[in-house]
Structure 1
Amino acid sequence: MDVSIVHSFFLIFAGAAVVASIALYTRQPMILAYIALGVLLGPSALSLIDEPKLMDEMSHIGIIFLLFLLGLDMQPSHLINMLKKASWVALASSIAFAALGYLVSTAFGYTQTESIIVGLAMMFSSTIVCIKLLPTTVLHHKHTGELVVGLLLLQDIIAIAVLLVLYSIGSSEDTSDFMRYAKPVLGLPILVGGAFLFVKYVLLKLIAKFDRFHEYIFLVSIGWCLAMAVAAETAGLSAEMGAFIAGVALATSPISQYIATNLKPLRDFFLILFFFSIGASFNLALLGTVIVPAIVLAVSALLIKPTVFRYLLKGLKEDKSTSWEVGFRLGQVSEFSLLIAYLAASIGLIGVEASHVIQATAILSFALSTYVVILNYPNPIAISDRLRKD
């Protein structure tokens, strides 16, 4: 087993180094290179990686660290104001995108249930792609970053509610159904309150006492992040939400930016695994069947999502350029869409083909949206020196 994991890691990271070099020489986004590598090495092509499930589970840690670092950049007062301000925009836009997915799927002959699931999958934008393409300066100092993050968080809350409903459909026990709904409602305020109290009375005192030992701060930060992720899962929430709460609870401390800087390489390590696992999990045998509806859905998302956000944000008195930028940054489908596809297929709500339509749409939308952002807006992986900002 150890040899298999080492061999898999060698193929992934040596391969990632090669494709990243090619991507940089040809001025292509590295995110897409990692997904392409996953398709190439995965079960559907060369089949050199035979443990995509393991890779997928490990890559999930990258998402957790990404949300933790995002939380470290968000002052609680600013975050609360933004969530209040943007809540109706997130809800209205989600309904519009669900209708888009439903209508397109129905037009391609999918069943009512499958069309509804595809619609639900179209509701959300990718936290990983959006945050990966936001420069740190935009996160820290720009209103645009606050808007993007606020909308993503509200979408994540809606996505968790959708997943809870799907879980309840897949469960046959009434008690279990009730607990799936009750636990998050009770757990969220307890988790938030407990996090801020623990940081104030325990964590910051420990860090202040041993701040000379950089290794200690590194270990405590990782432990805190993962502890909150596990606590959130226990409370019926997502691990990502727990990690984000862990970061926000630390955001008011001067140590937060030191932690954020030191954890970025660890985050990138696991995010490479995440994008690789997306490609590796896709079944190429179904590509011919799903490619046309996936292209239509992905292009529709890229065209309609920015337009919807442009006019909804106009209601918040946002200026035109900010509204368009937020819309294009949120113009893809989410990693939550992949979870919805996997879960709905596993409980028999949709067929394998419909599940792969959602997966293909997510991959294509990641690609199209990434190209639009790196060619037009400031981001850390821009092709143009003028737009490249970390």
Structure 2
Amino acid sequence: MIETDLAPDPERATGRRLTALLAATSAVTAANVYLSQPLTGAAAASFGVAPDALGAVPTATQLGYATGILLLVPAGDSHDRRRLILGLGAASALALAACALSPSVAWLIVSSFAVGLLSPVPQLVTPLAVALADRGAPGVGRGRIVGIVQAGLLTGVLASRAYAGAVGDLLGWRAVYACSCVLTLLLMLVLRRALPHVPSGSRSGQAAGGAGYRATLLSLPRLFASQPLIRRITLSGALVGVAFGAFWTALTFLLEKEYGFGPTGIGLFGLVAAASALASPHAGRLAERFGHRGALAALIGLVVVGWLLLLPGGGGLGWIVAGVVVLDVGVWGSQAASQTALFALDPAVHSRLNTLYFTFRFLGIALGSLAGTLAWADSGWSAVALVGVITTAAGLIVAVLPVGRRSGR
């Protein structure tokens, strides 16, 4: 249960409304990172350049996002997360407006990097949600809260491609950025009224201001080395991320070549994975009930099963649909279980733990996208599936093998 300073009566309905709002915040801000993917062709045509010239736009957004996670999310341990969320949300709305008004390709690339840089709000929202929950009942319901907020993030990621494609076809690619700018600003206005003030994990860091931020940033390598549990979960997340990135990159090639899908169809196909959004809250509870090692064994095992279902590739669309659902439930479920395990550690370092996990995760996804492209070009879908199975199996081994006495359950 979550209680707020604005509503002293700790009714369960209040906690549910605030949790839903935080999940919606993750959805909207995460969606902004993926808007450009269905729009590159239309944007290239409007600028009079080849579509390949716009390939740098989604890449710049992803690089900006990874940079933002690394440099901005640690500030959540030394500053008021509420102020950080509101500030980043308002700034990202300005970056979206810059994208909508871009007079050139170079401007759009730079603005897209800014959108990514200013969008790691979900990585601040999750520890804030856990901190709010702990004010009502310390340690109770963390897995459920993490799962619900992540379900919002996943919904935004999956819906963004379909939303961007539909609005882009109807009103043009610039309208997509303009609509997202307005939606983000409206969300920040709602959050400004609804979010309570919660002290950061490190009060001394908050008091120290910039010095606290520098200290938290410089402490990341030491934190990574401090416990086997942290190393196992972050490295396992990176390996599963490689498999995830390889799949979604190569799937586009497979659907185009074997089934004749266009950009709109490929974007809508992403909604097949929506089942994983429903599974995320249960994944957090699974980690609480059976321990993170048991939960990760089951969920990463599902990713392996998903890849086995995907092996036929062009042999039938039904195999792909089944494989996508199973694989995504495992990928996003294991992420929720991993965060639940990390948030059982010292609350003073929750933002930095999120930074470590998602930095490794996105590095893995980026590497997987490259590996999937190279595997497809060399030997087709069978090579992509081999990359997926091997990296997922490695992630499973890292996640479940005991390392040291203090590695956790």
TM-score by length of structure 1 reads 0.30
Return the TM-score normalized by structure 2. 0.29
